[in-house]
Amino acid sequence: MAGNLQELLDEKGNIVQMLRDSQLGTYIYPVVPAEFTNWRREQKAWRETAVLYDQTHHMVNFFVSGPDALKLLSDTGINSFANFPVDTAKQFVPTASNGGVIGDGILFHEGPDEYVYVGRAPGANWLQFHAETGGYDVQFRYDDRSPSRPYGEAVHRDYYRFQIQGPAAWSIIEKLAGGTVEQVRFFRMGHMTIAGEQVRTLAPRHGRRAGPGAVGAVRPARQDP
């Protein structure tokens, strides 16, 4: 029996077939159970009214800041940062030195020298590796995705992220905010207050449907354990 991953790869030979034959079972979407009756009603809702997606748990948040934060991102990805001011976001594609794609995710520019990468683990792992070994003057924090099976244990995220989408989305957003909310441009971020909490929003028309909506992220207040 293989004692580590390398021995398993050497034993199986065909990595693709090994993954296809995996007995891990059905992937369980982490933490939050589905709150719709069926797929058809979900599709009808985002076409005719609005739906609320909880995007809090299934992605890694990698926070990086400091004088060399932008240099780290520029050195590890294919993106241009010639025009990337605060309160904008873009799809970020980290790559290896040979040009191989590591993954992709959404990069948020939250403040001077402050960025958050949101995506799957390989991209965040790649950024962390270079932040630790590349001699960059940065501070970073890895906020891992929530466990698929928390087994009743409390789950904490540095950011809680929700998306509301559909024809009725903007009227719902303004009702929650208690007034008019600026409709910022594509992949631009805005700010609003809901129930006393400051929420950072990502532009409308970001989602599965080219209609009104927004993605909002809120950082919860820190509590002593």
Residue at a domain's end among 113, 143, 173: 143
When computed from its CA atoms, the radius of gyration of the chain, rounded to whole angstroms, is 20
156 and 50 in a common domain: yes
CATH code for position 175: 3.30.1360.120
Rounded to 5 degrees, what are φ and ψ at 20?
-65, -30
53 and 117 in a common domain: no
47 and 72 in a common domain: no
104, part of any domain? yes
pLDDT of residue 224: 37
27, part of any domain? no
156 and 209 in a common domain: yes
- What ranges in the chain are assigned the alpha helix state H? 5-12, 15-20, 39-48, 69-76, 121-133, 169-177
82 and 129 in a common domain: yes
pLDDT of residue 129: 96
Query: Do the beta carbons of residue 201 and residue 216 sit within 8 Å?
Result: yes
186 and 133 in a common domain: no
Average pLDDT taken over every residue of the chain: 84
Where in the sequence is the domain holding 123, given as residue range(s)? 60-143
Amino acid identity, residue 116? V
Rounded to 5 degrees, what are φ and ψ at 165?
-145, 140
In tens, the pLDDT along 2-52 reads: 888 888 888 888 878 887 887 776 666 667 776 777 888 888 888 899 888
What is the secondary structure of 178-194 as a DSSP string?
TS----PPTTBEEEEEE
29, part of any domain? no
139 and 162 in a common domain: no
100 and 70 in a common domain: yes
Tokens read off for 80: 């241009």
Task: In whole angstroms, give the CA distance from residue 224 to residue 132.
Answer: 28
Half-sphere exposure in the Cβ direction for 156 (13 Å, CA): 9
Task: In whole angstroms, give the CA distance from residue 62 to residue 116.
Answer: 6
Residue at a domain's end among 143, 177, 204: 143
111 and 49 in a common domain: no
Task: In whole angstroms, give the CA distance from residue 107 to residue 96.
Answer: 18
In tens, the pLDDT along 149-171 reads: 787 788 888 888 888 888 888 88
106 and 209 in a common domain: no
197, part of any domain? yes
187 and 157 in a common domain: yes
Residue at a domain's end among 143, 177, 209: 143
- DSSP helix/strand/coil, 54: strand
CATH code for position 64: 3.30.70.1400
Instruction: For residues 50-73, give the mean pLDDT.
Output: 93
Number of domains in the chain: 2
